[in-house]
Amino acid sequence: MPKLIQISDCHIDDQALAMEADTQANLKKIIAQISSQKFDALLISGDLTHQGTAPSYNRLKQILAPIDAPIYVIGGNHDNITQLEKTFKQNTFNSFKLKNWEIVSIDSVQLDKTSGRVTQGALLKLDQTLEASNADHIMVVLHHPIVPMNSTWDDALSLENPQDLFKVLDKHSKIRIVVFGHAHEAAHFSNKQFDIVSCPSTALQYNQETRIGFNEFNLQNGGNINWQTQWI
């Protein structure tokens, strides 16, 4: 059964501190914990860096060096896609497979805006990827939350048009789970068809949680998922 680890919102910067947290030291702790486990892929769901500078992506690459599983990344609102693709060209993806599962990404980032939006073009591409998938089960990943967080998080900073995304997701019965980051808090929601899981930040949480963490998913053959948040 494949095991996928998701980390999010690392906010690596040119200097150690970002948002008053030592984001580099924090990510190193997370990577030390992760690399002591056996797993099949590491997924990073955006805001790899705090300001999108070239040195911060290089720094991130160094911190990720102990990981020997494949690494897959998507951008967040703090990322600079040009810089990200320079350093992580091999790691960006539209979709990838783990046994009979497929992990599919959708871009939700708007230029110079904190909130997200999925464009008609991105939705069409998602729909086509989902339609063409020969996997039995699908996980969808994006940067922005697609549901109200029911917390102190300002939902106006999440995905602006979740109804457009749900129109596509609801057409595809193989989708078992949708995961994202951005809100810097761990949370779980269910809808009729699939689970919806928010990944905590490796840098710092925006709620009262003082730990840093990541999510791990055991993707079962039959479509069930054992998942949990690990905190440090």
- Binding residues for Zn ion, rule: CB under 5 A, are 47, 76-77, 182
**Residue (108 or 133) nearer to Zn ion, CB:** 108
Centroid of chain to Cα 43: 6
- For the CB of residue 48, give the shortest distance to Zn ion in the complex, in Å: 10
**Residue (85 or 127) nearer to Zn ion, CB:** 85
Sheet holding 195-198, edge to edge: 95-98, 101-105, 137-141, 175-180, 195-198, 187-190
Nearest CA to 100 out of 43, 138, 130 is that of 138
Any idea which residue has 């109200």 for tokens? 148
**Residue (146 or 225) nearer to Zn ion, CB:** 146
- For the CB of residue 224, give the shortest distance to Zn ion in the complex, in Å: 29
DSSP-assigned letter for residue 159: B
- For the CB of residue 72, give the shortest distance to Zn ion in the complex, in Å: 17
Residue ranges in the chain assigned as alpha helix (H): 23-35, 54-64, 81-88, 120-132, 162-169
* CA dihedral for 72, 75, 79, 81, sign (positive or negative): positive
For the record, the structure tokens of 220 come out as 């079962």
**Residue (47 or 102) nearer to Zn ion, CB:** 47
**Residue (47 or 185) nearer to Zn ion, CB:** 47
Q: Give the number of other Cβ atoms within 10 Å of residue 29's Cβ.
A: 13
- For the CB of residue 3, give the shortest distance to Zn ion in the complex, in Å: 25
- For the CB of residue 191, give the shortest distance to Zn ion in the complex, in Å: 23
For Zn ion, the nearest residue by Cβ is 182
